[in-house]
Amino acid sequence: MFISTMFTKEDYAMRPQPETSPRNSDRAVTAMLGETRRDKEIMNVVLEKQARIQFSYIARSAVHNPYDEEVRQYTSIENGDKDSYLRSIREAYTGELGTLSDDPIRNERNMAIVNITLACRAAMRAGINPEVAYSLSDAEIQYCEVLTDVRELNRYRSLCELLFLNLVHEKKERERMKNAPVPRKGSPELTVESCKEYIACHLHEKILIRDIAKELFVNADYLSDIFHKKTGTTITQYIRQHKVQLISNMLTYSDYSYLEIATYFGYSSQSHLGSVFRKETGMTLQQYRAKYHVREFRK
């Protein structure tokens, strides 16, 4: 499992930021970009290499994969459309992917980095918070260096794109639900779905049934009753299960302390969180992290 939309811009503000970007810190250097002798030598080498690559494709009567296929693929991510995305990556075409390195593993890693970068940009065009998108991109690219199998890396590229697509899809679903009118006396099904949507948007807070009922313009007892009838579980159980699922992600894929996690999800103390977590999973926070923490993810 991966963490998706559970963090906010403020959460990612904890990432250390350089005081100035190294790309533009020296104005004198950037002002002469492309004009120095060394710059021109490098550009000439690259252009010569491009000519050799292009000639090799002509000699083999080969072409790169079609651009319109790439456009369909990343438009699907931008739209949060999984069905369209899966169709695009299953398309058969006569072209071939470029070679970014003579080493097969390095080539697949480089291809993954390209795909991740394009998917990240597509997600941001769809309105995903840049800090969320960049952080996911950083994590995905770092994990490329852990994988050592060509076929696994090939599949990993699509998994990375799918994570960005899911971010967009979830954002669009939240917007759709937010913009949908919630009638004071809506159907039980609509009320239950609206309740779930409210919970999903407030998992990092202490959620009270009376607050949900007030938001949905219904009686708290009525809400609890229809939720249990339609889902087979209580609202409190539903909230606990979904919080524990996200907490499990944080224990697996982050180094946040138990107290930080407890505070983020609105628990009164670390011990309170530990009690809830153990009741739901049968494991303590320490036991779960020791068993599932992805240590190699940070290599």
Q: Is residue 51 part of a domain?
A: no
> Can you tell me the distance from the alpha carbon of 13 to that of 8, in angstroms, rounded to the nearest whole number?
9
Taking residues 225-242, what's their average pLDDT?
94
Let me know whether 72 and 140 are in one domain.
yes
Is the Cα dihedral 156, 158, 163, 164 positive or negative? positive
Q: Do 284 and 274 contact (CB within 8 A), yes or no? A: yes
What pLDDT does 168 receive?
93
- The pLDDT tens digits of the residues spanning 124-176 come to 999 998 888 999 999 999 988 888 999 999 889 889 999 999 999 988 888 87
Range of the domain at 278: 237-298
- The pLDDT tens digits of the residues spanning 5-59 come to 444 444 444 444 444 455 555 555 566 777 788 888 877 777 776 676 566 655 5
Other CB atoms within a 10 A radius of the CB of residue 24 amount to 9
Let me know whether 125 and 189 are in one domain.
no
Domain total in the chain: 3
Let me know whether 84 and 146 are in one domain.
yes
Q: Is residue 47 part of a domain?
A: no
Q: Is residue 293 part of a domain?
A: yes
Facing residues of 64 across strands? 96
Q: Is residue 22 part of a domain?
A: no
Answer with the one of 207, 232, 257 that is the final residue of a domain: 232
Q: Is residue 193 part of a domain?
A: yes
- The pLDDT tens digits of the residues spanning 110-128 come to 999 999 999 999 999 999 9
> Can you tell me the distance from the alpha carbon of 124 to that of 18, in angstroms, rounded to the nearest whole number?
22
What is the domain-level CATH number for residue 246?
1.10.10.60
Q: What is the value of pTM for the model shown?
A: 0.48
Answer with the one of 159, 174, 189 that is the final residue of a domain: 174
Which phi and psi angles does 62 have, rounded to 5°? -110, 160
Integer angstrom CA distances of residue 259 from 158, 208, 277, 284, 285: 35, 22, 13, 14, 11
* pLDDT interval class at 272 (50, 70, 90): very high
> Can you tell me the distance from the alpha carbon of 2 to that of 163, in angstroms, rounded to the nearest whole number?
8
Let me know whether 90 and 127 are in one domain.
yes
Indicate if the pLDDT at residue 185 is higher than 90: no
